Amino acid sequence: NQIGGLTAGLGNVISANGDQGIWVRDNTSRLNQIQGNVIGASAVGAALGNGAHGVEILSAMDTEVSQNEIVHNSSYGVFLDYGAVTNQVIQNTISDNRYAGIANGAESNNTFSQNSISSNGALGIDLGLDGVTGNSNSDSWLNYPEISESSSISTNGTMIVAYDFDLDVPANTDGYRVEFFSNSEVDPSLHGEGENYLGYIDLVHQGAGSENFKGSFNANQVVPENANVALTLTEKLGVTILGSTSEFSRIRNGGLSVCTDLLADPDASMVDVVIDENSPAITYLEALDADGNPVTYAISGGADGNRFVIDPVAPDALFDCVTIRFISNNVVDNRRLSVAANSVVRAGQQPDPGNYEVPVDSGRDNVYDLEITVTDINGNTVTKPLSVVVRNVNEKPFITSAGMTEFLERQDVSAVVIDLQSYDPDADDAEGSGLTYSISGGADGHFFNVDTQSGELRFESSPDYGSPLDSNSDNSYELIVRVTDDQGYAGSQNLLVEVTDDPDKNDVRVSIKALLQGPYDWSSGLMNDDLRSSGVLSVSQPYAAEPFNYQGAEALDLDKVELTGDEAIVDWVLVELRSSDDPLQVVATQAGIVRRNGDVADVSLTGAGVSFAGVAAGQYYVSLRHRNHLGVMTAEPLSLSMTTELVDFSHAATSVYGEHARLVSNDVALLWSGDINQDDRLILNGQGSDLNVMLSTVLVAPGNEGFNSSYQVIGYNAADLNMDGKVVFMGPANDADSLLGNTLSHPENVSFSGNFIVVGGM
């Protein structure tokens, strides 16, 4: 199961619950992921809390709790108990909870790594739920690094962290990992929390009692001078697999030099330096002797001595130390070297040392050997060998594709916008094998999808240059794309997609509103959708036969037929553009649908209005026709373009072609009902009578064996003037009355003649 996710938009706000925010329980519950959620606060950071723990894991196994914000909860931030094992709590922010940030009362083998833990009411990590658990070999908990009164963790305002601590743990084939954290304040227990994750060192312990570890490493950030640094110890179960984690160590800061003094003990061997690959500095050496006199250093030998350089003390340095670092060849950007297959570089190019994937040491095993000679002012020299071990670290992948691309409008939805390319300095990760793509944000990211394996980016629906949907409405779509390696390390890039105009696909657009008299309800101001609700509405456009002769293939999506409410489908209509020079000449036709509120849309039902592809912008008459109502047309040609033009035939003030071309009452205008034979006239009696067509439809209908004029014909039929799904000639709710009423009450039929002919405005 997964709650949330690391892709933008997947995370949840889980706050203000009466009990736990999230509860995972049962020993059959495994491989759950809780990622990217805010647990205990609002989306904008307001403290809401939950009634108990932020996350509670009882008996469950292999749960990953990562990259969440777990804050302001009324008990523990994360609580594990009742046999909850092999769970991982990593890279979370856990702060301002009432009791401990992480409370583990379950078993020892749960991993807590790279979290930011601070300002909680009790310990940062509490094993056993009893406060600080002193180091002991008689319990199941992993001992934390012991920082005695004579040792410390020291910082000097740079990225250097010097350490001196003791450790008493069993031997472990895969070794241990020590993680370092700085804190703005010291916990009352004097055992730190872990506000800022600084990095780690890996070490091997012989398991024969307490051992001392002293050295320095480069943190992932500048660390303030005399920072409050606390440590945790985590058992390693493999190169990248972690097991049990200890509580935080005691905090003791200051008092330890961050630089090595080779003259202090000339006979002592230098401890091997282990560095992360591509580290900017390897080690630091004292630039002054014990009397404050300057000393000089030289790389005097070693199989790989030519790979190193010594930098003097910088003028603005905070400490008197020289720096040993790898030499840079300044020939090629190593990030772009091809190492995925066989770790080769192009001819004539020399990679820099210190890249784990492309070792250039003499043994090609990432162990660089050199000799350092120091000379004091009296000419005394000390030469010591040093081995520098380069450790593999997971490096951030990055996207190499350009940050801007163009895309021609209105292509097929399968068209690829851009095939994202990426590179991971780690040799084991490549596109399709370890690297995955996602869309992580951007104002217009929701308009796209990306193939997680190939990186092919596509629009969700094809963009239209004339109707831009991007946030700025300027056809410049902004998004953020991300590539993530198999350990969750991600690199992002802003991407701008410029949608361009396709002259061959220019069109004009018109938004039409019209009301049909037959189904119109004066009390609600809406038309009925009885044809749809009774299931008789034609799925395909009904205007193929004479006199319309329209051969379009428009058809309705059956799922969209189920739409209800004001936008429910009433019936099909025919929208026409006519020549400005000759309104009898039809330039373009499209079948659309009219909704209950009078809006006319194309069959996609995705937007307002109807588009005519391939029609040049210009002046056109706009007309609307229906299968049993008189059509209507604008009184004058309108200027149409890719910008949607509104034509409201339902508004009495809209000028239309012909006199009394609509039934007008107050401000509402309706299309006249009754043109059953579709000759643009309403005829009650005489030749061409629409009433006779209605009567004939009833009398000869299959099933009306008695030729009964009161028989009801069910179905989609032009004689159904009130459009309720049945033709009724006589009796309640009959269709004949509307034709009779329109004929006798027409404004031009001053004599109320039954032989009056209502002529349409087309």
Q: Are 142 and 172 in contact (CB under 8 A)?
A: no
Q: Give the pLDDT band of residue 641 (cuts 50, 70, 90).
A: confident
In the predicted model, is pLDDT for residue 697 greater than 90?
yes
| Percent of the residues in the chain that have a pLDDT greater than 70, as a whole number | 95
CA distance 281 to 611: 64
More confident residue, 100 or 336: 100
Taking domain 142-257, whether its CATH number is 3.65.10.10 is answered by no
Whose CA is closest to 515, among 682, 680, 671?
671
pLDDT at site 508: 86
d(CA 78, CA 90): 11
Fold adopted by 398-500:
Immunoglobulin-like (2.60.40)
CA 208, 209, 215: angle at the middle one, nearest 5? 100
Q: What are phi and psi of 334, to 5 degrees?
A: -60, -25
Please give the span between the terminal C-alpha atoms of the chain, in angstroms, as a whole number.
63
Q: How confident is the model at residue 258 (pLDDT cuts 50, 70, 90)?
A: low
The distance from CA 234 to its chain's CA centroid, rounded to whole angstroms, is: 33
DSSP assignment of 362-390 equals TTSSSEEEEEEEEE-TTS-EEEEEEEEEE
Q: Is residue 335 over pLDDT 60?
A: no
If phi over 0 gives left and psi between -120 and 50 gives alpha, with beta otherwise, what is residue 108?
A: alpha
CATH code matching the domain that covers 273-391, chosen among 2.60.40, 2.40.300, 2.50.20, 1.25.40? 2.60.40
How far apart are alpha carbons 648 and 639 in whole angstroms? 15
pLDDT at 432 over 80: no
Pairing of strands 33-35, 507-513: unpaired
Contacts of 535 (CB under 8 A, 6+ apart): none
Residue 506: its pLDDT value, please?
A: 73
Mean pLDDT of the chain: 90
The pLDDT tens digits of the residues spanning 175-206 come to: 999 999 999 999 889 998 999 999 999 988 88
Question: Looking up tokens 């009882």, which residue turns up?
Answer: 58
Question: Is the pLDDT score of 558 beyond 90?
Answer: no
Q: How far apart are CA 719 and CA 546, in angstroms?
A: 16
Q: Which helix (H) or strand (E) holds 590?
A: strand 586-595
pLDDT for 268: 83
Tell me whether strands 668-671 and 662-665 are parallel, antiparallel or unpaired: antiparallel
User: What whole-number distance in Å separates Cα of residue 630 and Cα of residue 56?
Assistant: 69
Edge-to-edge strand list for the sheet holding 308-311: 283-286, 321-326, 308-311
pLDDT at position 340: 30
Radius of gyration of the chain (CA): 40
Q: pLDDT tens, 92-151?
A: 999 999 999 999 987 778 999 999 999 999 999 999 999 999 998 888 899 999 988 777
Contact 755, 684 (CB under 8 A): yes
Render 48-107 in DSSP notation, one character per residue.
Answer: ---SS-SEEEES-BS-EEES-EEES-SS-SEEEESS-BS-EEES-EEES-SS-SEEE-S-
Kindly give, in sequence order, each residue whose CB lies less than 8 Å from that of residue 520, ignoring residues fewer than 6 positions away.
Answer: 526, 527, 670
Instruction: Name the DSSP letter for residue 347.
Output: T
Residue ranges of E strands in 206-357: 211-218, 228-236, 242-245, 273-276, 283-286, 296-301, 308-311, 321-326
Closest CA to 89 of 56, 41, 120, 119: 56
Band (pLDDT 50/70/90 cuts) for residue 334 is very low
Edge-first strand order for the sheet with 507-513 is 610-613, 507-513, 645-648
- The mean pLDDT of 732-761, rounded to a whole number, is 95
Helix axes 736-744 and 690-699, enclosed angle (nearest 10): 170
pLDDT tens profile 488-546: 778 899 999 999 988 777 788 899 999 999 999 999 999 999 999 999 999 999 999 99
The whole-number average pLDDT for the span 213-241 is 89
What pLDDT score does 428 carry? 63
**Distance in angstroms (rounded) separating the CA atoms of residues 709 and 289:** 121
Per-residue pLDDT reduced to its tens digit, 570-609: 999 999 999 999 999 999 999 999 999 999 999 887 766 8
Integer Cα distance of 760 and 762 in angstroms: 6
Structural contact between residues 718 and 628, judged by C-beta atoms closer than 8 angstroms:
yes
